[in-house]
Chains A and B, each alone.
Chain A
Amino acid sequence: MRTLFALCAAAVTAFPSILSAETMPRDVMFSDHGEVAESLTGVPGNPEEGFKTATTKSLGNCVACHVANGWKDLPFPGNIGPDLTGVAHRYDEAHLRGILVNSKKTFHETVMPAFYNVDDIIRPGDRYTGKPAKSLDVTILTAQQIEDILALLMTFNEDH
């Protein structure tokens, strides 16, 4: 029984894409303008989870570079990128997903990181240790975390 359980657990870690029908980073389809129409997971995003991911340093860390009314209570948001307040009015869902997956498809050479991408990484490292990456398949965010932040951004209307 124990062995069976352990095997199942291993299978889940090894093949998450098969079990959840998740799109792998290299399989994401972009339009010419950098939009990604299809959900990466088929599971609707959760804006509360999205808020946590967007404001956690080791995850999205969007707050390092963006001001937004959506996180106006957090101290010292950065100003490398534009204010995200009202961003759901400026872009549709497909475009926001594309910007999150790989903003470089929308903004050529932008300093904004590509959050769901494994290509063109020079000297990939293991988190913030300075050591070599343990796996080359690591993305900054998971597919579901992208969908969660997307759900959060979709609430960023005029005043939010």
Chain B
Amino acid sequence: MTTRAKKTAVLAAVMTVGFGGAAMAEPDLDAKLVINDELEMTTIVEPAPYLDGALDQVISGWHFRDAATRAMEMDDFENPAMNFVEDGLAAWDAVDGTEGKSCASCHGAIEEGMRGVRAVMPKYNEEAGDLWSLEEYINDCRVNRMGAEAWNWDKTPMKVMTAAIGVQSRGMPVNVAIDGPARPYWEQGKEMFYARTGLLQMSCASCHEENYGNYIRADHLSQGHLNGFPTLRLKKGSLVSTHNRLFGCVRDTRAESYPKGSAELKALELYVASRGNGLSVETPAVRP
């Protein structure tokens, strides 16, 4: 057992005395995620060697949610995020901008044109000479190819489009590249992941590596993977973008956070995504 696992076991024993143990179910690792009774998802994988043993197993955030929330993600009629995907699909076919084009004008059907795209984002863009997130590719097409306005990364039009594109990779393994020109970004993201920021002096690892499976107040801590993004927050009834979540997790250490779309959050996004390499893309996942 790792130190963390040992600590969890001890704490679990303590909890049984302290709180009746009722609400403290460990993540249900036997549960199987099958979507619409046909699409079998990989929700637990062996950690990649570059994680240096930091995790015993790489576990999707789905396992850490309660049974009712998990069930919603298993059926597209129950998954409230599918309404937003519908909006994204409509936007895909809608003409916008001075060039009179829609996304479909160039990319064809989204099912073919965008299959597998989400699974490898963010990735290094040779032409731009920089690491790009999915949102950047979308805005590049809008501004430079359609003559349309860039979308705010955290507003509905962008979120529904990333959901519609993401779902085309559902079931495919997350597979971001970390070598070659992506390497420096990955290194930067890794450093950020372990930096203990803010007045609380906590790092991503403090919660998502040392304490996953434990509760911080009512929140059941997962390993903090990105394979379900954008996710649907039931509490808010809206989609949460990748950078919204990352911004919020840094902010919650009482730190000065990084702007959404910033170079820093993209580097962090790459590193965090790489920790989940091998998990199935679950976009759009359901969260409490």
Contact = CB atoms under 8 A, between A and B. Distances in A.
Nearest to A76: B218
B254 A83 contact: no
Nearest to A121: B199
A128 B197 contact: no
Interface stretch (A45-53, A61-69, A142-150, A152-160): A61-69
Given A79-B215, A83-B18, A111-B202, A129 B251 contact: yes
Contacts, number: 102
B250 A130 contact: yes
A78 B19 CA distance: 10
> Is the contact region of chain A dominated by helix, strand, or loop, or is it mixed?
loop
B279 to A, nearest CB: 25
A121 B11 CA distance: 29
A125 B254 contact: yes
Interface stretch (B68-76, B91-99, B206-214): B206-214
A65 B216 contact: yes
B18 A128 contact: no
Given A79-B24, A120-B201, A140-B199, A125 B214 contact: no
B25 interface: no
Interface stretch (A14-22, A26-34, A131-139): A131-139
B15 A67 contact: yes
Nearest to B253: A125
Contacts of A138: 199
Interface string A62-86: 0111010000000111111011010
A47 to B, nearest CB: 21
A125 B256 contact: yes
Nearest to B252: A128
A76 B218 CA distance: 5
Contacts of A113: 199-202
Given A121-B201, A130-B251, A77 B216 contact: no
Contacts of A80: 211, 214-216
Interface of A: 61, 63-65, 67, 75-80, 82-83, 85, 104, 111, 113-114, 120-133, 138-140
Return the 7 tightest CB-CB contacts between A and B, nearest first. Answer: A130-B251, A130-B257, A76-B218, A67-B18, A132-B256, A111-B206, A125-B255
Interface of B: 11, 14-15, 17-19, 23-24, 195-202, 206-207, 210-211, 214-219, 247-248, 250-257
Given A111-B210, A123-B198, A123-B250, 10 more contacts: A78-B214, A78-B219, A79-B11, A79-B14, A79-B214, A111-B211, A125-B199, A125-B254, A133-B256, A140-B200
